[in-house]
């Protein structure tokens, strides 16, 4: 049996972008708490399979689904596969995301479009796909992963225009969804600060030093720390919380 406290026992959760980083930590945390998990990925098949094996070894249950969540057909197929296997969807975590570390004069229109598709459009498509199921069930939780780049953060968090715009869009979209889908579905946002994932591998040492200096707790976050915040918003503990943005950043930004 999973070794957690059972906060999600009997629940079915879809986690997008779950093959690595924060997404993989969320998938593992949910399984530990008793959820049946859909591990969505688009490119990292080996990593997704490793997460599934890890969950199974610990007594949990999951399926792996390859799909581009910026494509409505693939999103529909993912939700249909979830229903065919588990018969319900209780939790959706929109975590899939990409970043091109380029300022405005270096970036391309194609990179802008791809960033918006993966980071923002996917939230719309996946939420729209699961909402009718959750409404029929009379209950559901949607947690969207944004970033402090979507807030009024320090300059270092705002230097990439397409990423910043997409993450700010997630916050606005989530507020609208929380109204559209109330009272049966709770929709909330988690905004991580700089977190130790492979996404930071593309960051220069100087940029890393700046971000740590801006963080009162003096370090980057860990994926499991972000997952713990997501668990709160996905569990019964947050039943009276919707339309909110939870910042998990070690105190950064300080504005």
- Whether residue 238 is contained in a domain is answered as yes
Predicted TM-score (pTM) of the model is: 0.95
Q: In degrees rounded to 5, what are phi and psi of residue 246?
A: -100, 115
CATH at residue 40: 3.40.50.720
In a domain, 19, yes or no: yes
Tell me, yes or no, whether 113 lies in a domain. Answer: yes
In a domain, 255, yes or no: no
> Rounded CA gap, 207 and 179, in Å?
38
Among residues 30, 41, 86, 163, which one is catalytic?
A: 163
CA geometry: angle at 110 spanning 104 and 116, to 5°?
Answer: 80
Instruction: Show pLDDT as tens, one digit a residue, over the chain (255 residues).
Output: 467 899 999 999 999 999 999 999 999 999 999 999 999 999 989 999 999 999 999 999 999 999 999 999 999 999 999 999 999 999 999 999 999 999 999 999 999 999 999 999 999 999 999 999 999 999 999 999 999 999 987 787 788 999 999 999 999 999 999 999 999 999 999 999 989 987 776 678 888 898 899 899 999 999 999 999 999 999 999 999 999 999 999 998 755
Residue at 109 is within a domain? yes
Domain that holds residue 126: 12-248
Number of separate domains in the chain: 1
Q: Beta strand 61-66 with 36-41: parallel, antiparallel or unpaired?
A: parallel
Domain annotation covers residue 48: yes
Active site residue 163: yes
CB 143 within 8 A of CB 189: yes
In contact, 15 and 40? CB cutoff 8 Å? yes
Residue 187 to residues 30, 51, 88, 158, 243: CA-CA distances in angstroms?
17, 26, 18, 25, 6
pLDDT of residue 1: 44
Within a domain: 4: no
Q: Which one-letter DSSP state was computed for residue 107?
A: -
Residue 1 lies in a domain: no
């Amino acid at each position: 049996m999973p070794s957690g406290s059972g906060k999600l026992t009997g629940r079915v959760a879809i986690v997008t972008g779950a093959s690595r980083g924060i997404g993989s930590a969320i998938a593992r945390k949910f399984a530990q708490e008793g959820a049946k998990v859909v591990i969505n990925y688009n490119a990292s098949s080996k990593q997704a399979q490793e997460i599934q094996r890890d969950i199974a070894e610990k007594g949990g249950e999951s399926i792996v689904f390859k799909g581009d969540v910026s494509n409505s057909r693939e999103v529909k197929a993912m939700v249909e596969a979830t229903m065919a296997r588990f018969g319900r969807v209780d939790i959706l975590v929109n975590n899939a995301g990409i970043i091109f570390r380029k300022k405005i004069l270096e970036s391309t229109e194609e990179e802008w479009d791809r960033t918006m598709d993966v980071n923002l459009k996917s939230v719309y498509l996946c939420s729209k796909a699961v909402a009718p199921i959750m409404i029929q069930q009379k209950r559901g939780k949607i947690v969207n992963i944004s970033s402090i780049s979507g807030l009024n953060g320090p300059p270092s968090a705002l230097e990439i225009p397409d990423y910043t715009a997409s993450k700010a869009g997630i916050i606005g979209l989530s507020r609208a969804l929380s109204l559209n889908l109330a009272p049966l579905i709770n929709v909330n946002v988690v905004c991580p600060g700089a977190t130790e994932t492979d996404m930071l591998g593309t960051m220069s040492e100087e940029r890393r030093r700046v971000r740590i200096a801006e963080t009162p707790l003096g370090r980057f976050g860990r994926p499991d720390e972000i997952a713990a915040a997501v668990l709160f918003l996905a569990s019964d503990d947050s039943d009276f919380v919707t339309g909110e943005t939870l910042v998990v950043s070690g105190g950064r930004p300080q504005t």
